[in-house]
Amino acid sequence: MKAAMARIRLISDFNAELFGRYLGTSIVPTPEVEALPFGQVYQSLTAAAGSDPETVAIIWTRPEGVIPSFAEVSDFEDVPHERVLAEVDLFADLIVRYAAGVRYVFLCSWISSPGSRGYGLIDYRPGVGIANLVARMNVRLAERLSAAPNLYILDTERWIRAAGARASAPKMWYAGKVPYGNPVFEQAAFDVGAALDGLAGTARRLIVLDLDNTLWGGVVGEGGWQALTLGGHDHIGEAYVDFQCALRALRRRGVQLAVVSKNDENVALDAIDNHPEMVLRRQDFAGWRINWSDKAQNLAALVSELNLGLASVVFIDDGAIERARVRETFPEVLVPDWPSDPAVYRSTLESLRCFDVAAVSAEDRDRGEMYAAERERRAGYERVGSFDEWLKTLDIKVEADGLSAANVKRAAQLFNKTNQMNLAVRRLSEPELQGWASDPTRRLWAVTVSDRFGPSGLTGIVSVQIAGETARITDFLLSCRVMGRRVEETMLFLAESYARSRGATEIVAQFVPTPRNRPCLEFLERSGMERAGDNLFVRRLGSEPRLPDCVTLVDVSGRVP
Amino acid sequence: MTNLEPTSGKNEILAAIYDVIREFNGQLPPDRRLVCAPETVLVGDGGVLDSLGLINLLVLLEDALSAHVGARVVLLDELHMSAVDGPFRTVGSLANHVAAQRGSR
């Protein structure tokens, strides 16, 4: 998304020019930022016409600037709060209509005026307090705006808290109609950047962790797990436990954990398995490299084993030298400066903005178990020896379904997160995907994979468009966790079978190269399709396509010929 | 070269100005960032600050001076802002202006 985004449009009741400048320096690549004349929010929202798919609109208002009855409330006039909420509904409906014409809308939540105590002691009393009313207004906005799938609410309160005493800037307001201090706009710009990263599918997905003095206090190789500082009646031990709890919480959002540590593997795993205060156990880690080798090399090998890219990785290590080694070797790995005090490990982790995603699916929550199952599969492979024979032992089942309300969210997530096995790297929102798939000349399959170790979930998309005797594969994307199990060949079988049934005599695929999708090119090169031009692949559809022996294909849509 | 007048605390004032410049630069693209030097031009020919930028820089500096040197200095003066040869022309002239305000108290 960020590579294709043309412009950010600011709509505000205050002078947002300063915010626009921070956006220009915080987001890569630098966007074009357009600040509409401030104080004309309703005019700006109603004047927009037509479609502007390359624009991201940011709507940042003070509630007293756009909700007239709230301005009265904040002057302590006696106004029924339901009247305020009715005006919020109108404002929300206007925003939903506006959102239909742009790529995304980011709406900044409302806050009470910084420094204002409202009604003091009773400011949270329903029907009276201003703080209570603002909270209800925000919840009301969130509920009314949930109908727009391309609209996201950002938390202004978080930026105000981060700015502390510098959140308010009275002189900037009087001189320039800028209501907040520079730190507020800087934090807001960082969050917008994180949101755009998440929507572009570039959120980080793997945290690689050191062990000694990172996950626990002390060196396990010195005195065994019994000598570690972890939990117990010790404030530092508690801090390490709390840090592990925060990591486990992130794992539930779909972020995976892994370990790279210079230790004896048996000693380290003994601690992970047996220390009574360990929150994270062996099954919580997608993988590990615990040995005395260079951490950068170990990290690269581990990431490759997990079929992820280095740009997906965050590396956390208490050692400055180790961090420098990884940072300098792999600039695409995020290596945050790590504090020396374990008491702030958790807050430092939670301050990272690199995990924002547009949706959290059930599959995200189960992804940890899927990685554990994958470890078992690999262990089985090592015992069997022959790759194809091993694949047959997995009982791989592929279900092919059309796009539906039940799977469109996950399908859109795949479009926006898959980088390696991806033919055209199209980034589509849910409405865009539904619109594209509704064309009668196009057919899209959402592919779900499972085997005897468990489900891998909806992990593949293949789409075909028919034009006369030529079938064009428009989309071909597959999650890295099921790559190499003949699911790619099965998806190609789906496309070719459909093309033959529609009278096509050839099937083509135009590969769009990016820095990360070389695995897709390599698959096309070994698939039997012929290269017919600049990244163009073709196959004549003379004979019946062949389904891989190790796969059972189940049509749940009734449309696989 | 702009000479700083021998007013007490000029180094502290320059240090405060440079701290503010470093923060202020966060909103500027790399090729337009202010250099921490007395001869850096702020407004007028060769200057990078527009009116909002100058207001922002001066407000940041007022707060920083209050914190750094314990001085309450008023910089948002309409008269001075309108003059390109006024006290906000360069970092050095700004520092002199601040020092003069402190010296007059």
Query: Burial letters for A199-222: b for 16+ Cβ neighbours within 10 Å, e otherwise?
Result: bbbbbbbbbbbbbbbbbbbbebee
% of residues, chain A, pLDDT over 90? 68
| Phi, psi (deg, nearest 5) at residue A459 | -130, 0
Interval A219-224 mean pLDDT: 86
Q: If you average pLDDT over each of A127-141, A200-214, A216-230, B1-15, which comes out highest?
A: A127-141
Q: Is residue A298 over pLDDT 60?
A: yes
Interface of A with B in 307-336 (CB under 8 A): none
CB contact under 8 A, B29 and A175: no
Q: Grade residue A493 by pLDDT with cuts at 50, 70 and 90.
A: very high
Interval A343-360 mean pLDDT: 90
The residue with tokens 């603002």 is A134
What order of strands is seen across the sheet that includes strand A285-291?
A285-291, A256-262, A206-209, A313-316
Higher pLDDT, A79 or A115: A79
Model pLDDT, residue A61: 98
Determine the angle formed by the axes of helices A430-437 and A408-417, rounding to 10 degrees: 110
CB contact under 8 A, A18 and B27: yes
Task: Say if residue A534 is exposed, middle or buried (CB neighbours under 10 Å; 0-12, 13-18, 19+).
Answer: exposed
CA angle B26, B31, B36 (to 5 degrees): 65
CB contact under 8 A, A171 and B26: no
A148: tokens are: 């727009």
Q: Is residue A3 over pLDDT 80?
A: no
Residues 6+ apart with CB under 8 A from A291: A262, A263, A265, A298
CB contact under 8 A, B59 and A24: no
Model pLDDT, residue A384: 52
Higher pLDDT, A519 or A71: A71
Q: Could you tell me where the beta strands, DSSP code E, fall in A418-513?
A: 421-422, 442-451, 454-467, 470-478, 506-510
Query: Burial letters for A229-246: b for 16+ Cβ neighbours within 10 Å, e otherwise?
Result: bbbeeeebbbbbbbbbeb
ipTM score of the complex?
A: 0.88
Q: Which residues of B touch A172 (CB under 8 A)?
A: 55-56, 59
Model pLDDT, residue A6: 62
How many angstroms separate the CA atoms of A202 and A555, rounded? 32
Q: Grade residue A293 by pLDDT with cuts at 50, 70 and 90.
A: confident
CB contact under 8 A, A25 and B29: yes
% of residues, chain B, pLDDT over 70? 83
CB contact under 8 A, B26 and A182: yes
Higher pLDDT, A115 or A410: A410
CB nearest B59 (choices: A22, A25, A171): A171
pLDDT digits (tens, 9 = 90+) for A31-60: 999 999 999 999 999 986 557 888 999 999
Q: Which residues of B touch A182 (CB under 8 A)?
A: 23-24, 26-27, 56, 60
Which has the closest alpha carbon to A194: A242, A168, A155, A161? Answer: A155
Higher pLDDT, B45 or A81: A81
Q: What is this structure's pTM? A: 0.72
Model pLDDT, residue A438: 92
Does A170 contact chain B (CB < 8 Å)? no
Q: Which residues of B touch A186 (CB under 8 A)?
A: 26-27
Q: Is residue B5 over pLDDT 50?
A: no
CB nearest A21 (choices: B23, B27, B63): B27
Model pLDDT, residue A376: 66
User: Is the CB of residue A67 less than 8 Å from the CB of residue A115?
Assistant: no
Q: Which residues of A touch B52 (CB under 8 A)?
A: 15, 17-18, 176, 178
**DSSP label of A334:** B
Q: Grade residue A386 by pLDDT with cuts at 50, 70 and 90.
A: low
Distance from CA of B21 to the nearest CA of A (A): 13
Which has the closest alpha carbon to A557: A408, A400, A406? Answer: A400
Model pLDDT, residue B12: 85
How many angstroms separate the CA atoms of A449 and A519, rounded? 19
How many angstroms separate the CA atoms of A397 and A448, rounded? 8
Q: Could you tell me where the beta strands, DSSP code E, fall in A306-356?
A: 313-316
Residues 6+ apart with CB under 8 A from A165: none
Model pLDDT, residue A385: 55
pLDDT digits (tens, 9 = 90+) for A506-518: 999 999 998 888 8
Distance from CA of A399 to the nearest CA of B (A): 50
Distances from the Cα of B10 to the Cα of B39, B43, B72, B104, angstroms: 15, 21, 15, 14
Model pLDDT, residue B78: 61
A56: tokens are: 């991201």
Distance from CA of A182 to the nearest CA of B (A): 8
Which has the closest alpha carbon to A421: A508, A319, A307? Answer: A307
Interval B45-50 mean pLDDT: 89
| Phi, psi (deg, nearest 5) at residue B67 | -80, -40
Task: Report DSSP letters for A60-114, one per residue.
Answer: E--HHHH-HHHHHHHTT----HHHHHHHHHHHHHHHHHHHTTEEEEEEEPP-PPT
CB contact under 8 A, B56 and A17: no
Interface of A with B in 96-135 (CB under 8 A): none
Model pLDDT, residue A10: 96
Mean pLDDT of chain A: 90
Helix (H) or strand (E) holding A196, with range, is helix A182-199
How many angstroms separate the CA atoms of A81 and A75, rounded? 14
Q: Which residues of A touch B50 (CB under 8 A)?
A: none
Q: Which residues of A touch B78 (CB under 8 A)?
A: none
> Which residue does chain A place closest to B20, by CA atoms?
A182
Dihedral, A125, A128, A129, A134 alpha carbons, nearest 10: 110
Residues of chain B whose beta carbon is less than 8 angstroms from a beta carbon of chain A are 23-24, 26-29, 52, 55-56, 59-60, 62-63, 76
Model pLDDT, residue A462: 97
Q: Is residue B2 over pLDDT 60?
A: no
CB nearest A175 (choices: B23, B29, B55): B55
CB contact under 8 A, B27 and A182: yes
Model pLDDT, residue A2: 47
How many angstroms separate the CA atoms of A44 and A201, rounded? 30
How many angstroms separate the CA atoms of A421 and A514, rounded? 11
Q: Grade residue B7 by pLDDT with cuts at 50, 70 and 90.
A: very low
CB contact under 8 A, A25 and B59: no
> Which residue does chain B place closest to A171, by CA atoms?
B59
Q: Residue A193, Cβ neighbours under 10 Å: how many?
A: 20
**Count of CA atoms in the C-beta half-sphere (13 A) of A425:** 21
Distance from CA of B6 to the nearest CA of A (A): 30
Model pLDDT, residue A558: 60
Cis link prior to B38 (omega < 30° from 0)?
no
Interface of A with B in 9-38 (CB under 8 A): 15, 17-18, 21-22, 24-25, 30
How many angstroms separate the CA atoms of B36 and B56, rounded? 17
Q: Grade residue A304 by pLDDT with cuts at 50, 70 and 90.
A: confident
Find the range with the poorest average confidence among A156-165, A437-446, B73-82: B73-82
Interval A512-527 mean pLDDT: 88
Helix (H) or strand (E) holding A396, with range, is strand A396-401
Q: Which residues of B touch A25 (CB under 8 A)?
A: 26-29
Q: Grade residue A555 by pLDDT with cuts at 50, 70 and 90.
A: confident
CB nearest B76 (choices: A30, A171, A185): A171
Pairing mode, strands A536-540 and A506-510: antiparallel
CB contact under 8 A, B28 and A21: yes
pLDDT digits (tens, 9 = 90+) for B54-75: 999 999 999 888 877 677 788 8
Find the range with the poorest average confidence among A151-160, A194-203, A403-412, A484-493: A194-203
Model pLDDT, residue B86: 83
Residue-level length of chain A? 561
